[in-house]
Structure 1
Amino acid sequence: MKEAIFFDLDGTLIDSVPDLADALNAMLIQLGKKPFQEHQIRTWVGNGATMLVKRALSGSSEPKNIDNALFQKALQIFFEKYENNLCNKTTLYPRVKETLSQLHTKYPLAIITNKPYRFARPILESFGIDNYFSLILGGDSLPEKKPHPKPLLHACERLSCNPKNSLMVGDSKNDIIAAKKADIPVVAVDWGYNYDEPLTIYQPDYIIKDFTELERLV
């Protein structure tokens, strides 16, 4: 039996790309730059707001030589656009709320996301699932973020659980790599983002196709 379960947010519990894309494109247009299609932006999500903005400014998943003044201006615009439109189009994935409502009665649950905390909590609140979680860690809650193992190990300390008896649930290589470094078993969901790469490359312990499958793994 698991002692705690940790969840990524974007691409795992929620599909936030439509709202992220709208905010990112509004930022680009305000800066006089060309917007991108949503399917392109979907491949850039997962490393936090800072990297997302840099990828949009460069038009590349591996941005280089971004002017810092432009980046700082762009980041501020993006934060303003996104903060005012967090849940216009964002949705929970199927059966997430029902499954979480069952799991939280048996296990301590935590959110470990690279999304800034100021955005993560209001989104959870808007879907009425914030009270299911004993701990919410944003990408700016600690000095390190995924794929560094520190957020996961910090959650283990806060929830007084053994890493080997915990479980990480996520959609991308960042979740899998962080969990493996922390010696935490990891479940990958097959409906998320992961930069258009197959999840099998990173060898998660389990891959699920429906959120309710979690109940048989814990």
Structure 2
Amino acid sequence: MTLPTSTPTVAGGRPAARPVQAVVFDLDGVLVDSSAVMREAFDIAYAEVVGDGPAPFEEYNRHMGRYFPDIMRLMGLPLEMEEPFVRESYRLAPQVPLFPGVRELLHGLHGRGVRMAIATGKSGPRARSLLELLGVLHLFGHVIGSDEVPRPKPAPDIVLHALDLLGVPAERALMVGDAVIDLASGRDAGTTTVATTWHEGDCAALLAAGPDFVARTPRELLTYCLAVEV
């Protein structure tokens, strides 16, 4: 996939018709740089519940974006790990920063009347607490966690619920994420999908999933959101 180097257009060159009215964001790896904190919380939870030995964080990281209990089931780990993981995540939350440029991205969209929501693998209360701590919660119309929908990502439920609450049809919205399941959720909900790559992880599978647009920086994403019509 060719990454954009100038004013972006819709992937595939389809005719511009409807301006973007809403953006639904994933949280971890897109807006917040939480990898180090999640690793520490996961290591502590593994040691408390499973015992000695290296915690398989790399495998956990491959499932990032899913709801924590679902990841435990996929990895064959005890669901009891959720309690210490959540406890440590709250304790370590002050160490989680926004990615550089994200604050400007959010204020830029908000100032131009683009409605925004979060659709995250985190629980809703934990996501809202973190965004409040970072001083950006008020910029979002809604923040929805995986515990607040019948089926979490990769199902489209969480994106559809966000758009319903925002009052914006899917064809006028973007789903922005850094994982294949974000793109799947957005695509099945009927939105334009945007992959972000500033988390500096392995992007091969993400690009292979065929997002409509790839943003390398928050500034590039802001330019896309304000210039493109879907």
TM-score (norm 1): 0.85
Query: How far apart, CA to CA, are the structure 2 residues paired with 1:212 and 1:2?
Result: 16
Query: How far apart, CA to CA, are the structure 2 residues paired with 1:37 and 1:87?
Result: 24
Question: SS state of the match for residue 98, structure 1?
Answer: helix
Aligned to 1:49: 68
- Structure 1 residue 192 displacement after superposition: 3.4
1:5 counterpart letter in structure 2: V
Aligned to 2:44: 26
Question: SS state of the match for residue 9, structure 1?
Answer: coil
Structure 1 segments unaligned to the other structure (5+ residues): 56-61
Matched, 1:83 2:101: no
Q: Which of 117, 124, 131 is matched with 2:131 structurally? A: 124
RMSD of aligned residue pairs (Cα, Å)? 2.1
* 1:168-179 pair list within 5 angstroms: 168-179=175-186
Identity of aligned residues (%): 28
Matched, 1:99 2:117: no
TM-score (norm 2): 0.81
Query: How far apart, CA to CA, are the structure 2 residues paired with 1:190 and 1:15?
Result: 12
Aligned to 1:200: 207
Query: How far apart, CA to CA, are the structure 2 residues paired with 1:147 and 1:212?
Result: 27
Cα-to-partner distance string for 1:80-113 (whole Å, 9 max, x where unaligned): 222222232x221110001101101221110111
* 1:137-152 pair list within 5 angstroms: 137-152=144-159
Query: How far apart, CA to CA, are the structure 2 residues paired with 1:7 and 1:176?
Result: 11
Structure 2 segments unaligned to the other structure (5+ residues): 1-18, 226-230
Query: How far apart, CA to CA, are the structure 1 residues paired with 2:80 and 2:135?
Result: 33
- Structure 1 residue 36 displacement after superposition: 3.3
- Structure 1 residue 43 displacement after superposition: 3.0
Q: How many residues align?
A: 205
